[in-house]
Amino acid sequence: MSDIGTVFRELHKPGDPFLLVNAWDKGSARMMQALGAKAIGTTSAGHSFTQGRVDGGTLTRDEALTHAQELVSVVDVPVSGDFENGFGEAPDLVAEAIALAAEVGLAGCSIEDTALPDFTSYDFDLAVERIRAAASAARALKGDFVLVARADGVMLGQYDCAEAIRRIQAFEAAGADCVYVPAPPGVGELEQIIRSVEIPVNVLVSGRFSTLTLPELEKMGAARLSVGAALARVAYGAAIGVAQGMLNGDLSGLARAAEEGDVNALLTRVM
């Protein structure tokens, strides 16, 4: 049987992007595979919501590892972990997180350049050193493992696109397999980001970028598309809307519920 990390790596083809579907629990992961997802991603926000918490450093490393292992246990496609900042500032801690991620069966994971829970960006040199340590740990594994280096400062208002490009180019040089700049200002900046590196680029297709078509993303050279917490927020948004109506005396929203048989069919489909 092929190494799951190798299977995952082979999906990353610039100009022929695949969809990494971010799931928030075992049921959603299994249903997404049944619907045709080639790979599953965890989402720190979606996972945090299930624990009654907000996103951004509220999950412990052990919680994230347990959650990831649960998702791995119910699907047979590659699973990639949203490991936030690697659960620590020091490069050694990030390297340790990579080794543990592989132990629970993940085919890859992403590491941000964000200090949590403050949502400030690590200094350039430290951010690069953290990715270098993560890449070294990934290459020391017995199996293949796809390391994604994230430059989140544009999304957080910590730096501009020029700095994001400087960072992802340095991350590429440090050994990252894929890079990711969530929520750039517009399509033009997204195109610049994709063209600035030789390795695969992940594109977050929620928000303003959810209106882009697959041919447009292919033409830009995107290699991977992820949805972050957007799918989880769609589910929560539907529940919130119906519950608001219900608690105000309008029960009609409950008629929009999925048929139990349809849910059961996805959960019991032979993978």
End-to-end CA distance of the chain: 16
When pLDDT is cut at 50, 70 and 90, the band that residue 270 belongs to is low
Give residue-wise pLDDT tens across range 8-58. 999 999 999 999 999 999 999 999 999 999 999 999 999 999 999 999 999
Q: What residue ranges define each of the domains in the chain, with the CATH number in brackets?
A: 4-229 (3.20.20.60)
The arithmetic mean of pLDDT across residues 208-225, rounded, is 96
Q: Name the percent of the chain lying above pLDDT 70.
A: 99
Three-state secondary structure of 43-73: CHHHHHHHCCCCCCCCCCHHHHHHHHHHHHH
Q: How much is the pTM? A: 0.95
pLDDT at 62 over 50: yes
Rounded Cα distance, 151 and 46, in Å: 20
The arithmetic mean of pLDDT across residues 251-266, rounded, is 95
In degrees, to the nearest 5, what angle opens at C-alpha 262 toward C-alphas 257 and 267? Answer: 115
Give residue-wise pLDDT tens across range 78-127. 999 999 999 999 999 999 999 999 999 999 999 999 999 999 999 999 99
- The pLDDT of residue 1 is 44
Give residue-wise pLDDT tens across range 116-159. 999 999 999 999 999 999 999 999 999 999 999 999 999 999 99
